[in-house]
Amino acid sequence: MDKTVASAAAAVADVPDGATLAVGGFGLSGVPNVLIQAVYERGTTGLGVVSNNCGAMDRGLAVLLAAGRIARVTGSFIGANKEFARQYLAGELEVELIPQGTLAERLRAGGSGIPAFYTPAGVGTQISEGGLPWRYDGSGGVALASPPKEVRAFDGKEYVLERGIRTDYALVRAARGDRHGNLVFHRSARNFNPLAAMAGRITIAEVEEVVEPGGLDPDAVHVPGVFVQRVVALTPEQAADKSIEQRTVSD
Protein backbone atom coordinates (compact mmCIF):
# COMPACT_ATOMS: atom_id res chain seq x y z
CA MET A 1 0.00 0.00 0.00
CA ASP A 2 1.35 3.41 -1.00
CA LYS A 3 1.08 5.56 2.13
CA THR A 4 2.63 8.74 0.74
CA VAL A 5 0.64 11.97 1.13
CA ALA A 6 1.11 14.99 -1.10
CA SER A 7 1.91 17.47 1.66
CA ALA A 8 2.23 17.92 5.40
CA ALA A 9 -0.93 20.03 5.35
CA ALA A 10 -2.87 17.17 3.75
CA ALA A 11 -1.38 14.68 6.22
CA VAL A 12 -2.68 16.57 9.28
CA ALA A 13 -5.90 17.87 7.72
CA ASP A 14 -8.11 15.65 9.90
CA VAL A 15 -6.37 16.35 13.24
CA PRO A 16 -9.23 17.85 15.31
CA ASP A 17 -9.19 20.21 18.26
CA GLY A 18 -8.54 18.30 21.47
CA ALA A 19 -6.61 15.50 19.76
CA THR A 20 -3.77 13.70 21.54
CA LEU A 21 -0.39 13.58 19.80
CA ALA A 22 2.69 11.48 20.52
CA VAL A 23 5.61 13.46 19.12
CA GLY A 24 9.12 12.15 18.51
CA GLY A 25 12.35 13.97 19.14
CA PHE A 26 14.71 14.81 21.98
CA GLY A 27 15.63 18.45 22.39
CA LEU A 28 15.85 19.53 18.77
CA SER A 29 17.11 16.19 17.42
CA GLY A 30 14.72 14.20 15.27
CA VAL A 31 11.82 16.61 15.76
CA PRO A 32 9.03 16.53 13.12
CA ASN A 33 9.14 20.30 12.61
CA VAL A 34 7.35 20.28 9.26
CA LEU A 35 4.35 18.37 10.60
CA ILE A 36 4.24 20.50 13.75
CA GLN A 37 4.21 23.64 11.60
CA ALA A 38 1.38 22.16 9.52
CA VAL A 39 -0.67 21.53 12.69
CA TYR A 40 0.02 25.13 13.72
CA GLU A 41 -1.07 26.52 10.35
CA ARG A 42 -4.22 24.40 10.48
CA GLY A 43 -5.17 26.21 13.70
CA THR A 44 -5.74 23.08 15.76
CA THR A 45 -6.00 23.82 19.48
CA GLY A 46 -6.63 22.15 22.85
CA LEU A 47 -4.03 19.49 22.09
CA GLY A 48 -2.80 16.85 24.50
CA VAL A 49 0.87 16.23 23.71
CA VAL A 50 3.00 13.26 24.77
CA SER A 51 6.68 13.98 24.16
CA ASN A 52 9.98 13.89 26.02
CA ASN A 53 10.08 17.70 26.03
CA CYS A 54 8.10 20.56 24.52
CA GLY A 55 10.59 22.09 22.13
CA ALA A 56 13.14 24.82 22.66
CA MET A 57 13.65 28.38 21.44
CA ASP A 58 11.15 28.73 18.58
CA ARG A 59 11.48 25.18 17.30
CA GLY A 60 9.50 21.98 17.63
CA LEU A 61 6.50 21.91 19.93
CA ALA A 62 7.48 25.36 21.23
CA VAL A 63 5.66 26.72 18.16
CA LEU A 64 2.34 25.26 19.34
CA LEU A 65 3.04 25.98 23.00
CA ALA A 66 3.73 29.69 22.43
CA ALA A 67 0.49 29.99 20.45
CA GLY A 68 -1.52 28.53 23.34
CA ARG A 69 -2.55 25.49 21.31
CA ILE A 70 -1.47 22.87 23.87
CA ALA A 71 -3.73 22.10 26.83
CA ARG A 72 -1.82 19.21 28.38
CA VAL A 73 1.75 17.88 28.22
CA THR A 74 2.83 14.40 29.25
CA GLY A 75 6.63 14.37 29.28
CA SER A 76 9.80 14.10 31.30
CA PHE A 77 11.78 17.29 30.71
CA ILE A 78 10.96 21.01 30.82
CA GLY A 79 14.54 22.02 30.15
CA ALA A 80 15.33 25.61 29.19
CA ASN A 81 11.87 26.26 27.75
CA LYS A 82 10.90 29.32 29.80
CA GLU A 83 7.46 29.60 28.22
CA PHE A 84 6.72 26.01 29.19
CA ALA A 85 7.66 26.77 32.80
CA ARG A 86 5.68 30.01 32.78
CA GLN A 87 2.47 28.42 31.49
CA TYR A 88 2.80 25.53 33.93
CA LEU A 89 3.33 27.72 37.01
CA ALA A 90 0.62 30.16 35.89
CA GLY A 91 -1.98 27.41 35.72
CA GLU A 92 -2.41 27.74 31.96
CA LEU A 93 -1.06 24.28 31.16
CA GLU A 94 -1.63 20.84 32.66
CA VAL A 95 1.63 18.87 32.95
CA GLU A 96 2.21 15.24 33.88
CA LEU A 97 5.93 14.76 34.51
CA ILE A 98 7.11 11.16 34.18
CA PRO A 99 10.54 9.53 34.70
CA GLN A 100 12.14 9.34 31.26
CA GLY A 101 12.49 5.57 31.15
CA THR A 102 8.91 5.13 32.31
CA LEU A 103 7.69 7.48 29.57
CA ALA A 104 9.57 5.45 26.97
CA GLU A 105 8.12 2.18 28.24
CA ARG A 106 4.59 3.57 28.50
CA LEU A 107 4.74 4.53 24.81
CA ARG A 108 6.23 1.19 23.82
CA ALA A 109 3.70 -0.72 25.90
CA GLY A 110 0.78 1.18 24.43
CA GLY A 111 2.01 0.49 20.93
CA SER A 112 2.50 -3.20 21.74
CA GLY A 113 -1.02 -3.66 23.09
CA ILE A 114 0.12 -3.89 26.72
CA PRO A 115 -2.34 -1.94 28.91
CA ALA A 116 -0.08 -1.58 31.94
CA PHE A 117 3.16 -2.77 33.55
CA TYR A 118 4.99 -2.62 36.89
CA THR A 119 8.23 -0.69 37.39
CA PRO A 120 10.36 0.16 40.47
CA ALA A 121 10.88 3.73 39.24
CA GLY A 122 9.01 6.17 41.48
CA VAL A 123 8.12 3.83 44.34
CA GLY A 124 8.03 5.74 47.64
CA THR A 125 7.71 9.12 45.90
CA GLN A 126 4.83 11.28 44.68
CA ILE A 127 4.98 9.28 41.44
CA SER A 128 3.39 6.36 43.26
CA GLU A 129 1.85 8.06 46.29
CA GLY A 130 0.20 10.91 44.36
CA GLY A 131 0.37 14.64 44.94
CA LEU A 132 2.49 15.73 41.98
CA PRO A 133 1.14 19.09 40.73
CA TRP A 134 -0.53 18.53 37.36
CA ARG A 135 -1.99 22.03 37.29
CA TYR A 136 -1.30 25.08 39.45
CA ASP A 137 -3.96 27.66 40.30
CA GLY A 138 -1.83 30.63 39.26
CA SER A 139 -1.33 31.77 42.86
CA GLY A 140 1.19 29.17 43.96
CA GLY A 141 -1.37 26.59 44.99
CA VAL A 142 -2.13 23.25 43.36
CA ALA A 143 -5.41 23.07 41.47
CA LEU A 144 -5.00 19.46 40.30
CA ALA A 145 -2.65 16.81 41.67
CA SER A 146 -1.74 13.35 40.47
CA PRO A 147 -3.67 10.44 42.03
CA PRO A 148 -1.97 7.56 43.88
CA LYS A 149 -1.08 4.50 41.86
CA GLU A 150 -1.26 0.82 42.65
CA VAL A 151 1.90 -0.58 44.27
CA ARG A 152 2.56 -4.31 44.42
CA ALA A 153 5.42 -6.42 45.78
CA PHE A 154 7.24 -9.01 43.67
CA ASP A 155 9.93 -11.14 45.31
CA GLY A 156 10.07 -8.76 48.25
CA LYS A 157 10.45 -5.59 46.17
CA GLU A 158 7.78 -2.96 45.51
CA TYR A 159 6.74 -1.85 42.03
CA VAL A 160 4.29 0.80 40.83
CA LEU A 161 1.71 0.15 38.13
CA GLU A 162 2.02 2.39 35.06
CA ARG A 163 -0.48 2.57 32.20
CA GLY A 164 0.52 2.18 28.56
CA ILE A 165 0.02 5.27 26.40
CA ARG A 166 -2.02 5.39 23.20
CA THR A 167 -2.68 8.64 21.33
CA ASP A 168 -4.96 9.66 18.50
CA TYR A 169 -2.03 10.62 16.28
CA ALA A 170 1.75 10.40 16.27
CA LEU A 171 4.17 12.74 14.49
CA VAL A 172 7.69 11.50 13.80
CA ARG A 173 10.69 12.34 11.62
CA ALA A 174 12.81 9.73 9.87
CA ALA A 175 15.97 9.91 7.78
CA ARG A 176 14.80 7.31 5.25
CA GLY A 177 11.54 5.53 4.56
CA ASP A 178 9.68 3.77 1.81
CA ARG A 179 6.18 4.18 0.44
CA HIS A 180 4.94 1.35 2.66
CA GLY A 181 5.87 3.29 5.81
CA ASN A 182 9.00 1.39 6.86
CA LEU A 183 11.27 3.88 8.63
CA VAL A 184 14.99 4.27 9.40
CA PHE A 185 16.29 6.92 11.81
CA HIS A 186 19.74 8.51 11.84
CA ARG A 187 21.80 7.99 14.97
CA SER A 188 20.57 10.09 17.92
CA ALA A 189 17.47 11.21 15.98
CA ARG A 190 16.16 7.73 16.67
CA ASN A 191 15.49 8.72 20.33
CA PHE A 192 11.72 8.75 21.05
CA ASN A 193 10.66 8.52 17.41
CA PRO A 194 10.13 4.73 17.19
CA LEU A 195 8.23 4.72 20.49
CA ALA A 196 5.99 7.61 19.46
CA ALA A 197 5.35 5.93 16.10
CA MET A 198 4.16 2.79 17.87
CA ALA A 199 1.84 4.66 20.24
CA GLY A 200 -0.19 6.57 17.66
CA ARG A 201 -3.42 5.16 16.26
CA ILE A 202 -2.64 7.20 13.13
CA THR A 203 1.09 7.75 12.71
CA ILE A 204 2.38 10.38 10.29
CA ALA A 205 6.06 10.36 9.34
CA GLU A 206 7.95 13.18 7.67
CA VAL A 207 10.83 11.53 5.81
CA GLU A 208 14.01 13.13 4.51
CA GLU A 209 14.52 10.51 1.78
CA VAL A 210 11.68 8.36 0.46
CA VAL A 211 12.68 5.27 -1.51
CA GLU A 212 10.71 2.67 -3.39
CA PRO A 213 9.66 -0.55 -1.63
CA GLY A 214 12.68 -2.84 -1.49
CA GLY A 215 15.06 0.10 -1.27
CA LEU A 216 15.66 -0.38 2.47
CA ASP A 217 17.74 -3.13 4.03
CA PRO A 218 15.16 -5.07 6.09
CA ASP A 219 17.71 -5.48 8.89
CA ALA A 220 18.11 -1.69 9.10
CA VAL A 221 14.41 -0.87 9.55
CA HIS A 222 13.67 0.62 12.98
CA VAL A 223 9.89 0.94 12.62
CA PRO A 224 7.97 -1.44 10.32
CA GLY A 225 5.29 0.01 8.11
CA VAL A 226 2.49 -1.66 10.09
CA PHE A 227 2.82 1.18 12.62
CA VAL A 228 2.75 3.99 10.02
CA GLN A 229 -0.32 5.23 8.14
CA ARG A 230 0.97 8.33 6.31
CA VAL A 231 4.34 9.31 4.81
CA VAL A 232 5.30 12.86 3.83
CA ALA A 233 8.38 13.29 1.65
CA LEU A 234 10.37 16.38 2.66
CA THR A 235 11.90 18.75 0.15
CA PRO A 236 15.72 19.02 0.16
CA GLU A 237 15.38 22.37 1.93
CA GLN A 238 13.11 20.93 4.62
CA ALA A 239 15.38 17.91 5.09
CA ALA A 240 18.42 20.14 5.57
CA ASP A 241 16.72 22.49 8.04
CA LYS A 242 18.09 21.30 11.37
CA SER A 243 18.97 23.15 14.56
CA ILE A 244 21.48 22.65 17.37
CA GLU A 245 20.14 23.51 20.82
CA GLN A 246 23.50 23.78 22.58
CA ARG A 247 26.44 24.31 20.25
CA THR A 248 29.69 23.06 21.79
CA VAL A 249 33.07 23.66 20.16
CA SER A 250 36.65 22.95 21.10
CA ASP A 251 40.08 23.94 19.84
For residue range 116-162, list pLDDT tens digits in order: 999 999 999 999 999 999 999 999 999 999 999 999 999 999 999 99
pLDDT of 251 higher than 90: no
Average pLDDT, the chain: 96
Q: Which CATH number fits domain 4-115+164-240: 3.40.50.150, 3.30.70.20, 3.40.50.720, 3.40.1080.10?
A: 3.40.1080.10
Question: Closest Cα to residue 45, out of 25, 21, 10?
Answer: 21
The alpha carbon of 111 is separated from its chain's Cα centroid by a whole number of angstroms, namely 13
In degrees and rounded to multiples of 5, residue 49 shows phi and psi of -110, 135
Question: pLDDT tens across 168-200, in order?
Answer: 999 999 999 999 999 999 999 999 999 999 999
User: What per-residue confidence (pLDDT) applies to 134?
Assistant: 98
Confidence of residue 108 (pLDDT cuts 50, 70, 90): very high
**pTM for the full model?**
0.95
Find, among 82, 81, 72, the residue nearest to 54 by Cα.
81
Q: Where are the domains of the chain?
A: 4-115+164-240
Residue 57 has pLDDT above 80, yes or no: no
Q: Measured between alpha carbons, how far apart are the two ends of the chain, in Å?
A: 51
- Please compute the mean of the pLDDT values over residues 236-249 and round it to a whole number: 88
